[in-house]
Amino acid sequence: MSEAGAIPELKAIVGAVLFASRAPVTVDRLVQVFHQAAERIGGIAAGFAQVGREEVAAAIEQVRADLAAAGIGLRIAEVAHGYRLESDPACGPWVRVHLDRMRPQRLSPPALETLAIIAYRQPVTRAEIEAVRGVAVDQILRNLLDLQLIRVTGRSDLPGRPWLFGTTQRFLEHFGLNRIEDLPGVDELRRREAQVAAPDGCGAGLAEKPPAEVAALAAGSAAETREAMGHDAG
């Protein structure tokens, strides 16, 4: 018997693991948790030794449906190839007040633009980034590396063997993306830009957009460059 006096349901265990996790959890990792618990603990945990991917995936959907039906301000989001329990975005204003974050922390426009170029053209060298932006990006690259939003993926075959940069798992988590292919295409970027364009052209109105959309809008020129030059970037 468990501490609560009853064997928990599969969906209850899945929900508890997601609640306790600081990073997105994959279906395979959840299956591994059930198998490892059966081996190490035995007892009631042994009853879940044969749990597989389909059962775990179904349990995740059950938890998702239960949270939606309960309307308690929590949801399960699919992010960075895994799942995490998070607050409902509609409740964001109140959550930010509680956390004293009424002014959302955002990357600077130059950092967003650099990050967008890397996201759309990866793997990409520093010189290629600077060719698009027209300015030096050494310090920005160092900051993005420190934030673990980008990583060195290898070396180019170009003379001097410069470093190649790409995005990280942390990038997907930060912008709420499940995979890099979920970034908007050029047509979608232009449509979103038209919807949120500020009268003074300085980007007012972006503060209310989700981080992924802000990054995408900052990437407008990078996305067009990718469309026109992507094939010769290697």
With 0.85 as the threshold, say if the pTM is over it: no
Q: Are residues 94 and 150 in the same domain?
A: no
User: Is residue 150 situated within a structural domain?
Assistant: yes
Closest to 145 measured CA to CA, from 111, 188, 100: 111
CATH number at residue 175: 1.10.10.10
pLDDT of amino acid 101: 61
pLDDT of amino acid 74: 96
Tokens linked to 232: 């010769």
Tokens linked to 211: 């981080």
Query: At CB < 8 A and 24+ separation, what contacts does 27-34 make?
Result: 27/53, 27/56, 27/57, 27/60, 27/82, 27/83, 28/53, 29/82, 30/56, 30/60, 31/56
Work out the average pLDDT over 29-51: 94
Q: Are residues 72 and 25 in the same domain?
A: yes
Domain hosting 57: range is 10-98
pLDDT of amino acid 36: 96
pLDDT of amino acid 184: 80
pLDDT of amino acid 190: 52
Q: Are residues 126 and 211 in the same domain?
A: yes
User: Is residue 58 situated within a structural domain?
Assistant: yes
Q: Are residues 116 and 15 in the same domain?
A: no
Contact present, 33 and 40 (Cβ < 8 Å): no
Work out the average pLDDT over 195-205: 44
pLDDT of amino acid 51: 96
Closest to 87 measured CA to CA, from 208, 99, 184, 180: 99
Residue entry with tokens 């919807």: 195
Tell me: the pLDDT tens digits for 148-160?
999 999 999 999 9
Q: Are residues 45 and 118 in the same domain?
A: no
Boundary (domain end) residue, out of 66, 98, 130: 98
Q: Are residues 117 and 225 in the same domain?
A: yes
Q: Work out the mean pLDDT of the chain and round it to a whole number.
A: 81
Residue 225, φ and ψ in degrees, nearest 5: -65, -40
| Position 71 pLDDT exceeds 80 | yes
- Whole-angstrom distance, CA of residue 48 vs CA of residue 68: 26
| Position 209 pLDDT exceeds 80 | no
Tokens linked to 103: 């002014």
User: Is residue 210 situated within a structural domain?
Assistant: yes
User: Is residue 104 situated within a structural domain?
Assistant: no
User: Is residue 5 situated within a structural domain?
Assistant: no
Q: Are residues 119 and 227 in the same domain?
A: yes
pLDDT confidence bin for 46, thresholds 50/70/90: very high
Beta sheet of 150-155, edge-to-edge order:
124-125, 163-167, 150-155
Query: How many domains does the structure of the chain reveal?
Result: 2
Q: Are residues 53 and 163 in the same domain?
A: no
Q: Are residues 132 and 56 in the same domain?
A: no
Those residues whose C-beta lies under 8 Å from the C-beta of residue 218, and which sit 6 or more positions away, are 109, 112, 113, 115, 116
Q: Are residues 58 and 168 in the same domain?
A: no
User: Is residue 160 situated within a structural domain?
Assistant: yes
Q: Are residues 118 and 92 in the same domain?
A: no
User: Is residue 22 situated within a structural domain?
Assistant: yes
User: Is residue 2 situated within a structural domain?
Assistant: no
Query: At CB < 8 A and 24+ separation, what contacts does 1-4 make?
Result: 1/44, 2/44
Boundary (domain end) residue, out of 98, 131, 163: 98
Q: Are residues 59 and 173 in the same domain?
A: no
Boundary (domain end) residue, out of 46, 70, 98: 98
